Structure 1
């Protein structure tokens, strides 16, 4: 079985001829494993060699495919539950055989098969955390004590990714569009925190009882700007670290798109 690009690379002539329209044979190997190229796209592989290798390649799933597969599993679990029981356990509203979950001030409605409907755009970064919340949340009230991402249960090894793809990416947006960014937060029922050391602080609720605290310090003389995202100490009782990370990335992308819309006159 060929499970990675290096194993496939060993079967190529390694001449980097570029006739596959990629810069190197290793790039071709990566593309094949990711499903972006076929073995037949290499003109130097014989039909016999292609037949030998075909079927032995384990194609790596894309992030989107992995999310779709996980979503399908969560939907199967939801289908085995009674939505009324879930709503009762978590204190959520029911409407026409669906249960409502408020995300950033907007309701998303989940049916008995785990499908989701809303007046807002629906995608995996909302859908997956909501289903996981319905299945696993204990419905505990926030404790009012704030912790950083590394302190979340099972966060080990994910800190760098959250810091880079969520906090640093969000900070770049705030640095470049400070006033607009906080105006956008107000669209999602952000709560202003006045007693704080940060220059600006807002609490958002991407899931019920799962607050995110965004703190921002503006640059000052020799001190650069700073942004962090904190979580209630009960966060692991109501969701998991994967959902926190997915929500963080999703919010950054959403805020970025809203800033683009504003620049073209489509927002406010």
Structure 2
């Protein structure tokens, strides 16, 4: 069953209750493994079970997860915790990411009380395997100033900054409240009253700046990183991390 076939079997109400907000993108997310059929409140348990039996999701991400777990084998999680943050619970590393906590075993198994997608597992395993070492500087730079960021800067604007700007434009109060639910703290260090600092990962803080429309100037969002961010994640992983932030903000509004 592909995404179109699945869509035909959904309620097609576009009720907005799932994080994709409409049935077609929800169907695509289910097929890609980024959402669960049970996320749809209009499907009965029997319908979820029946549809699930007919869905075959792509498994290349599971192969990648397996490869990343193998690469992690033998890692000293206590040393990882000292270098990358988080905390130890017995022999398990508890790593915060986007306002949630994920438990990572010495074998690289990742679990959480919340729904966890293959992409989140890949991101966390990349963060651990990269095992960057640098002290945060407090010097904030744009995505384009990070290693390989210039090449993907237009995509970062399109997929991260612009969608977040649209959420602020639609309802700045709810969007700010959603950021704060994810652990963001208001900052007065920047040339706009709408500024927040948040910890995406312990070694990957970010600044979110929003300027509302004023006279002839259009509204704008700018996301800044500590200049060491590319020591801990590559440009593509950082973009995925911020896409996840935008999705979480949209869901929490």
Q: Same fold (TM over 0.5)?
A: yes
Conservation of the 8 A alpha-carbon contact between 1:130 and 1:207? no
Instruction: State how far apart, in whole Å, the 2-side matches of 1:89 and 1:196 are.
Output: 29
1:251 aligns with 2:251: no
SS in structure 2 opposite 1:157? Answer: helix
Q: How many residues align?
A: 198
1:76 aligns with 2:52: no
1:163 aligns with 2:150: no
TM-score normalized by the length of structure 1: 0.67
1:116 aligns with 2:110: yes
Instruction: State how far apart, in whole Å, the 2-side matches of 1:229 and 1:69 are.
Output: 32
Indicate the residue corresponding to 1:183 in structure 2: 177
TM-superposed CA distance for 1:215, in Å, is: 0.3
1:198 aligns with 2:192: yes
1:31-46 paired onto structure 2 within 5 Å? none
1:45-84 paired onto structure 2 within 5 Å? 65-84=59-78
Segments of 5+ residues of structure 1 without an aligned counterpart are 1-35, 37-62, 260-268
Indicate the residue corresponding to 2:219 in structure 1: 225
TM-superposed CA distance for 1:107, in Å, is: 1.9
TM-score normalized by the length of structure 2: 0.71
Look at both structures and tell me which one has the larger radius of gyration over its CA atoms.
Answer: 1
TM-superposed CA distance for 1:64, in Å, is: 6.3
1:149 aligns with 2:143: yes
Indicate the residue corresponding to 2:93 in structure 1: 99
SS in structure 2 opposite 1:158? Answer: helix
Indicate the residue corresponding to 2:54 in structure 1: none
Spell out structure 1 runs of 4+ moving beyond 3 A: 63-69, 88-92
Instruction: State how far apart, in whole Å, the 1-side matches of 2:58 and 2:242 are.
Output: 16
Segments of 5+ residues of structure 2 without an aligned counterpart are 1-30, 32-56
Instruction: State how far apart, in whole Å, the 1-side matches of 2:232 and 2:94 are.
Output: 16
Conservation of the 8 A alpha-carbon contact between 1:100 and 1:107? yes
Deviations 1:216-250 (A, max 9, x none): 00111221111011111111122221210111111
More moved, 166-175 vs 151-160 = 151-160
Instruction: State how far apart, in whole Å, the 2-side matches of 1:238 and 1:167 are.
Output: 21
SS in structure 2 opposite 1:194? Answer: coil
